[in-house]
Chains A and B, each alone.
Chain A
Amino acid sequence: MPDVFVSPDRQTHKGTPSPQKNLTEEGTKKLFSSFNLYPSGIDFETREDKEKIILMLRQHPVVNVKWIFTTLLLLTGPTFLSIFGIFSLLPEGFSLVITLAWYLVTSAYAIEGFLNWYFNVYFVTTEEIIDVDFFNLLGKRVSVADLDKIQDVSYSTHGVLGTVLNFGDVQIQTAAEITEFRFESVPSPERVAKFLDDLIDKY
């Protein structure tokens, strides 16, 4: 008679690789990946020599749609200005300078959008979890909590997009100075939560 239900514990022992087992795996290097397991060639300034990066996360690429769409819209601005005859009202030379300045500001907007996505990352290492935030141009906040301080891990997905594209938030309760970590809009949040649960058990 086929099994109607198999206990999750038995399933775990059967097929799920443990983080400890995979520590010897060769890392992958994906420049623009949002979910990077055992990444190679990645480092952060406070990492200790014996500390290994197990998981590197950033927000799902779909969060970039807003600034990409806005950038494409802004790129058409000078075209509309010339169509509506705004440039013909100005003295010679002004139209060129305004167009150049427009593209300059648009490029800055796009660069900032990309940098904010690319460099705001979350790390899970063999010793701690790290949340790196850059804000207000020159502001930086690095939040760290040891793995043994993690008390609870939960995850959530929101809306149609989150469900279809499988991204959401992972909330981590800790006994550290920062009591809650939130990995926002990360891919496969259930996988991240399970990964952290396994790590907590191991370490």
Chain B
Amino acid sequence: MENILTTGFDIWILIKALALIILGMYLVFAFVITRQVKLMTSTLRLGFDGPAKILSYLHLVFAVLVFLAALVIL
């Protein structure tokens, strides 16, 4: 019987899967940051609401791009 561990098994596939899982979890964290900023700007209006929201959405977009990059490149 062939040993699956020694033939045809690429460790980097496992690492890629792990990276995608971690980056997927990070996407959730990035989304939570946007919720956090929404909570902060609804509680306080300090004149920086717009830029704070833009910052959080840019970070979310960055997280999505990194996830897609990992999906395609790795």
List A residues at the B interface (Cβ < 8 Å): 29, 31, 41-45, 91, 93-94, 96-97, 100-101, 104-105, 107-108, 111-112, 115, 118-119, 121, 132, 134, 137-138, 140, 142
Is chain B's interface secondary structure helix, strand, loop, or mixed overall? helix
Q: Do B32 and A137 touch (CB < 8 A)?
A: yes
Q: Determine how close the nearest CB of chain B comes to the CB of A123; give it in whole angstroms.
A: 9
B70 touching A97, Cβ below 8 Å: yes
A157 to B48, CA, bound (A): 29
Contact with A along B34-48 (1 / 0, CB 8 A): 011101101111111
**In the complex, which range does the number of interface residues on chain B fall in?**
20 to 34
B59 to A108, Cβ gap below 8 A? yes
Q: Judge whether A91 and B40 touch: CB under 8 Å.
A: no
Kindly report which residue of chain A lies nearest to residue B37, judged by CB atoms: A115
Chain B residues 6 to 44 lying within 8 A of chain A, measured CB to CB, are 12, 19, 23, 26, 29-30, 32-33, 35-37, 39-40, 42-44
Known: A97-B74, A112-B33. 5 other contacts (CB 8 A): A44-B45, A97-B69, A108-B33, A134-B43, A137-B33
